[in-house]
Structure 1
Amino acid sequence: MKLIKTEDAVGHVLCHDITQIIKGVTKDAVFRKGHIVTEEDIPVLLSVGKENLYVWEKEEGMLHENDAAEILRQICQGEHMHPSDVKEGKIELIADIDGVLKIEREKLRKVNSLGEIMIASRHGDFPVKKGDKLAGTRVIPLVISEEKMQQAKDVTAGGAIFNILPYKKKKAGIVTTGSEVYYHRIKDTFTPVIEEKLAEYDIEIGGHEICNDDPQMIENAIRSLLADGCDMIVCTGGMSVDPDDRTPYAIRQVTGEIVSYGAPVLPGAMFLLAYYREEGKEVIPVLGLPGCVMYSKRTIFDLVLPRLTVGEILTAEDLNTLGEGGLCLNCPECTFPNCGFGKGGTR
């Protein structure tokens, strides 16, 4: 930076804040670091006692913080989001739609490891709403080397760090199992809970079958709902390890494979995930929900449902990484998703 007369500063970039103090009225920066001085600014600067100013002296191979911030925005901003205006090397990203935030975590870590630039975001793999703040970026020094920003671009080559996956219109089939419900010995209190959860993501109910504990009956019910065009199947009941709990067997008969029977999440340890695959058609998730989904405020179902609704194909590894953060603390006042539940190990 260099020191010049204030009258000669038009077009130059300030290297420091200019503070105005009026007793009993204000004490604040009238101009911020990084401000480009205009002709109209000169009388104001002189009025606060600034006869001389430290301004940025452009150097070969160096970028002003705002120019570098624009590069940082380019490597961060993916689909369905927009940036705020740049200010003092800072830009924020704002969601344009409801959906699930996806983060290239390794890219994020590597960029933050470069130094002099930073990116802070909300947790990925969780729902966001239109207007939500997704991430904040900052170039820390007033000037930064072009080489450093090129390193950031190299790290993120091939795609942005952040993207939002939009929800897809889904039609779910519900299979309620259990002889006690089928023979009307008890009231079905599970299905209303599932309907409420599905409604959070505007998922249409495409059919509802009630079965006893006969695995063939359960299998037939699943196949019937698939034939009716359901692109998600949710099975409730019969998910424990008791000998007469046959829902997992029926699901396996339909899908041929189970991605995971069990997940490191409480509530939700007995959760089952499978996929029905038919050549030329979209993969259909088939879920087995344990009883805890019926009586616990938030469970494994709340962690996986949004991701399935945007069309993600979850793997066993995706579920395994939920262990850290997978313990719901059953707080007296539930603040999910603004809590630690489900926000665990990186992937």
Structure 2
Amino acid sequence: MKYGPVPIDQAQGALLAHSITASGKRIRKAHILSAEDIETLRAAHIEQVVVAILEEGDIEENEAATRIAAALEFSGAQAKPATTGRVSIFAERAGLFTVNKALVDAINEIDPDATLATLAPYVSVTPGQMIATLKIIPFAMSSSAVEAIVQLAAGRSAFAVHAFQPHQVGLVQTVLPGMKESVLDKTSQTTKSRLLRSGSNICDELRTPHTAKDVADAIHDLAARSDMVLIFGASSLSDPEDDVIPAAIRASGGKVLRSGMPVDPGNLFVLGEHEGKPVLGAPGCARSARPNGFDWALDRIFAGIGVTSHDIAAMGVGGLLMEIPSRPQPRGAPPPSDHPKVHAVVLAAGRSSRMGGPNKMLALFDDEPLVHRTAARVLATKADGALLVTGHQRELVEAALQDLDLRLVHNPAFADGLSTSLKTAIAAVPDSADGALIVLGDMPNITSEDMDLLIHEFRTSGGTSIVRAVSNGKRGNPVILPRSLFETVAGLHGDIGARHLVETSELDIIDVEIGADAAVDVDTPEALAKAGGRNVV
């Protein structure tokens, strides 16, 4: 493949390298230039364009991606048609994701022009969630490399989504004198919520004294009329052999397969079985809705994969989960600051793909570009500093901001998704900042006062909590991420933003109600018109 600028007289039949607007017509990137396109360019006095010219043995990016995707074997998922050299694959059902790492690594070794990225193994997924993406980086790829990947993938399962199967669950809670009934009730409710993702439910619950005999009787009773038994002990596991839960499993006629888990939170987990049915001793952290090692074991069982002592032993790498702020003495938590500093970041790098051509950042609201409107309001807040991330149509966006005293940071990888802009922004936040106010550039109704409410709550809470704008109790934007999450941002990929961090974090979340504006963005022409804006570029 030849790539570079050529006179338009030589461009017919070549692939356009960058989208271009000429004589009122938009010609998209990777479009094969026709004679009509050449005349349009000539009428706009464009003398040369940057193109890719395929040579013998080259396969155009979408065809290459389609061929490789067709060779991949997977289940429980569906591949979307190739576009801009990318095939994305989405889960068809709720379940647990597994992946053949050796095969994915081997595919990625063949030719850097073809990249296959997936979720981490044993991640719980929901229907419609992206689980893998195949990207051809240049406009074309050699047929020999494509064929090598196709042959490597043939007959080998690459990844799968194992559907969750509903289970009837028996619940045992042990009780000691003075234990509050409200704690037991909350644990029941939290457990019911935890089971929802698999369609499982609690078929019966027994509350017993904290003795091995009483718990053994409960296990025997519930195992006869359920698919598995969960046990919450009134005191923490101290002795893997003689503590109440492992002793009760043995006394019931069952087996203890493992006591202890190299996942934190989740260390005090017990894995057992009774007449072939799982019996799980839940760690104390499972009384909280926050993810912990207990969830990892549950998901494998619900997905039909099962969990063994060996599986649990292999969970240590990656098993250091985020700290639970509710612990009396959180390990490694930063001390609250007397006056936490907040640095605001505006994300304005996206391609506005759903807008159908125009850049929404340059849409006018009362004759003011949206990106200028958002940035000016951010600068008027009580934040300690601000920056804006550019990407798509960088020069036009920067021109719209030239009168503002605002630091601009460019994201050259903006086309790879929202996560790249968030990573660019967080990397540019000063070391002195305790938190970052993440502002989406396409929310026209968010005011300086709205953002100051979030900043006030962040500072009042000591600068260690997540602060999120909500609309009628529903999650929205902007959001403030404390510094403890900055390192986690670096691990994000694809079209994932701050919401993913908020939903998976162990940190406290403070919701600030700001009304409907927290949920109003302008991703489409219809949404833009409804919000009072109009496209110009």
2:287 paired with 1:289:
no
State which of 156, 160, 163 in structure 1 corresponds to 2:160: 163
Counterpart position of 2:15: 14
Partner of 1:131: 128
Answer whether contact 1:239 1:288 (CA < 8 A) is retained.
no
TM-score normalised to the size of structure 1? 0.78
**Partner in structure 2 of residue 66 of structure 1:** 62
The correspondence of residues 48-63 of structure 1 with structure 2, limited to 5 A, is: 48=44, 49=46, 56-60=53-57, 62-63=58-59
Q: Which has the higher contact order (CA 8 A, sep 6+)?
A: 1
Q: What is the CA–CA distance in structure 2 between the aligned matches of 1:83 and 1:18, rounded to whole Å?
A: 26
Aligned to 2:191: 194
Indicate the residue corresponding to 2:90 in structure 1.
94
Could you tell me whether the CA contact under 8 Å between 1:240 and 1:270 is conserved in 2?
yes
Q: 1:272 to 1:256 in 2, by over 3 A?
A: same
How large is the RMSD of aligned CA atoms in angstroms? 3.4
Kindly state the Cα deviation for residue 197 of structure 1 after the two structures are TM-superposed.
1.9
What is the letter of the counterpart of residue 77 of structure 2?
Answer: M
Relative distance call for 1:155 and 1:21 in structure 2 (3 A) is same
1:6–1:53 Cα contact (<8 Å) kept:
no
1:310 pairs, out of 300, 303, 309, with 303
1:164, distance to aligned residue in structure 2 (A): 1.4
Cα distance, 1:271 vs. partner?
Answer: 0.3
Deviations 1:78-99 (A, max 9, x none): 2233233322211212232222
Query: Partners in 1 of 2:11 and 2:287 — Cα distance?
Result: 72
Cα shift at 1:191: 3.0
Moved runs in structure 1, 4+ residues, more than 6 A? Answer: 2-5
Distance in 1 between residues matched to 2:153 and 2:97, nearest whole Å: 17
Letter in 2 for 1:196: S
- Report the equivalent of 1:31: 28
Normalising to structure 2: TM-score of the pair? 0.53
Which of 219, 228, 233 aligns to 1:232? It is 228
Query: Which letter maps to 2:192?
Result: E
Separation in structure 1 between the aligned mates of residue 502 and residue 253 of structure 2, nearest angstrom: 32
Deviation of residue 138 (structure 1)?
0.9
Would you say the 8 A contact 1:65–1:88 is kept in 2? yes
Matched residue, 1:345: none
Q: CA deviation at 1:220?
A: 2.4
Q: Which residue of 2 aligns with 1:148?
A: 145
Cα gap change, 1:233 to 1:4, in 2 (>3 Å): same
Give distance in 2, aligned partners of 1:116 and 1:255: 58
Please say if 1:325 is aligned against 2:318.
yes
Counterpart residue identity of residue 110, structure 1: A
| CA-CA distance at 1:340 after TM superposition | 9.6
Q: Does 1:268 find its partner at 2:266? A: yes
The 8 Å contact of residues 175 and 210 in structure 2, kept in 1 or not, is answered as yes
Matched residue type, 1:307: R
Alignment partner, residue 349 of structure 2: none
**Mapped partners of 1:15, 1:277: distance in 2:** 65
Cα distance, 1:151–1:7 mapped onto 2, change above 3 Å = closer
- Partner in structure 1 of residue 248 of structure 2: 250
**SS at the partner of 2:74?**
coil
Give me the whole-angstrom Cα distance separating, in 1, the residues matched to 2:49 and 2:501: 52
Shift of 1:263: 0.6
**Shift in CA distance, 130/47, structure 1 to aligned 2, threshold 3 Å:** farther
